[in-house]
């Protein structure tokens, strides 16, 4: 309790070196350098919809790579998801339930290490793990700056961040109103989050999910381990929703075969069109602009109001 009180008192304020994302609708509360016992401190951007009121309750959507969600001027490629525009429009037209968005900034250099699913990674043989750790990008930099630590990242999200959000904002706290989403490695982490914490998250949206972890699927053992892990870690279909998608250009060309295998595993366990969505977007590439163009689809699927 003292930990939460200290956070509430000290973090809903901006430091001079943290820019508040600009939004077209709703408002942003930037929590700067949120401290954790598990991972490095980072900014958290909480988006509140128009007419947010403490007198009513809101569902909560946690999103990885929070810096890319609202304001393209903060991004190296000048692209953004347009989360405020898309969710603001869907709420204004009563197509989805009222919700807030918690944008979790990534750790920068160690992003791959904090997002990569740790338990499947640790199923790899030592030599296979070494091959992942030494894999390099086109610019010759490595993908994993440290050992994989996504279990700690999920503990931070579930044990530290979620209690803070629920005590600071007017939220529904149950799994039926708690969701997680992301793209690429952030999508892979969102998948891992709902498999590890099905009692916390009622749904996950995984856009352009980066099953491969690196930029190649040749002799890559990670997707096989992830699918093996999945077979024994599937959230109950009765009270969970899962969304997956991928494009056909740039990095997204790596994903189709693994997604088809994942679809098969989920459907064997009872998932159907009411709680499972998987789609290929022909011509779509691996970018914020691509995810923005179809963001309404996963939002309607996870948060849609019943007719």
Tell me which residue has tokens 């870690």: 233
CB 259 within 8 A of CB 230: no
Q: Which two tokens stand for residue 187?
A: 């999508």
* pLDDT score of 307: 53
* CA-based torsion, 39, 45, 46, 47: positive or negative: negative
Q: Is 147 helix (H, G, I), strand (E, B) or coil?
A: coil
CB 226 within 8 A of CB 120: yes
* pLDDT score of 272: 97
- The Cα-based distances of 241 to 35, 64, 81, 109, 175 in angstroms read 31, 18, 21, 31, 11
For Cα atoms 176, 182, 187, give the angle at the middle one, nearest 5 degrees: 100
For Cα atoms 28, 285, 95, give the angle at the middle one, nearest 5 degrees: 45
Q: Which residues of the chain have pLDDT under 70?
A: 1-17, 306-307
* pLDDT score of 17: 63
Query: What residue ranges define each of the domains in the chain, with the CATH number in brackets?
Result: 2-303 (3.40.50.1820)
- Containing 205, the helix (H) or strand (E) segment is strand 203-207
Alpha-carbon distance of 254 to 211, in angstroms, equals: 8
- The Cα-based distances of 19 to 42, 82, 108, 109 in angstroms read 13, 17, 16, 20
The bridge status of strand 59-63 relative to strand 99-104 is: parallel
Write the pLDDT tens digit of every residue in 176-219.
999 999 999 999 999 999 999 999 999 999 999 999 999 999 99
227 contacts: CB under 8 Å, gap ≥ 6:
258, 261, 262, 265
Residue 259's region, left for phi above 0, alpha for psi from -120 to 50, else beta, is alpha
Q: Which two tokens stand for residue 63?
A: 């999103």
Alpha-carbon distance of 121 to 196, in angstroms, equals: 14
Tell me which residue has tokens 């700056």: 145
Helix-helix angle 256-268:222-230, to 10 degrees:
10
Q: Which two tokens stand for residue 198?
A: 């099905």
Alpha-carbon distance of 237 to 275, in angstroms, equals: 7
CB 247 within 8 A of CB 289: no
CB 292 within 8 A of CB 69: no
CB 45 within 8 A of CB 19: no
* pLDDT score of 184: 98
Single pTM value for the model: 0.93
Alpha-carbon distance of 221 to 229, in angstroms, equals: 13
* pLDDT score of 18: 84
């Amino acid at each position: 309790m003292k930990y939460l009180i200290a956070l509430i008192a000290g973090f809903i304020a901006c430091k001079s070196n943290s820019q508040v994302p600009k939004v077209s609708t709703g408002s942003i509360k930037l929590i700067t350098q949120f401290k954790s016992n598990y991972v490095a401190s980072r900014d958290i951007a909480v988006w509140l919809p128009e007419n947010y009121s403490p007198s009513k309750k809101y569902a909560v959507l946690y999103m990885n790579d929070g810096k890319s969600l609202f304001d393209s001027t903060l991004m190296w490629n000048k692209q953004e998801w347009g989360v405020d525009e898309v969710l603001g429009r869907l709420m204004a037209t009563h197509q989805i339930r009222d919700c807030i968005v918690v944008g979790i900034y990534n750790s920068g250099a160690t992003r791959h290490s904090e997002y990569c699913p740790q338990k499947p990674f640790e199923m790899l043989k030592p030599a296979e793990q070494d091959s992942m750790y030494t894999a390099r990008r086109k610019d010759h930099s490595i993908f994993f700056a440290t050992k994989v630590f996504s279990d700690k990242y999920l503990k931070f999200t579930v044990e530290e961040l979620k209690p803070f959000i629920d005590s600071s904002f007017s939220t529904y706290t149950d799994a039926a109103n708690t969701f997680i989403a992301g793209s690429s490695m952030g999508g892979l982490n969102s998948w891992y989050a709902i498999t590890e914490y099905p009692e916390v998250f009622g749904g996950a949206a995984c856009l352009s999910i980066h099953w491969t972890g690196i930029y190649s699927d040749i002799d890559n053992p990670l997707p096989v381990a992830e699918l093996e892990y999945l077979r024994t870690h599937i959230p109950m279909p009765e009270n969970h929703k899962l969304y997956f998608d991928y494009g056909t250009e740039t990095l997204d060309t790596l994903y189709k075969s693994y997604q088809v295998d994942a679809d098969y595993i989920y459907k064997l366990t009872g998932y159907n069109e009411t709680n499972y969505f998987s789609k290929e977007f022909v011509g779509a590439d691996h970018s914020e602009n691509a995810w923005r163009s179809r963001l309404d689809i996963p939002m309607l699927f996870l948060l849609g109001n019943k007719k």
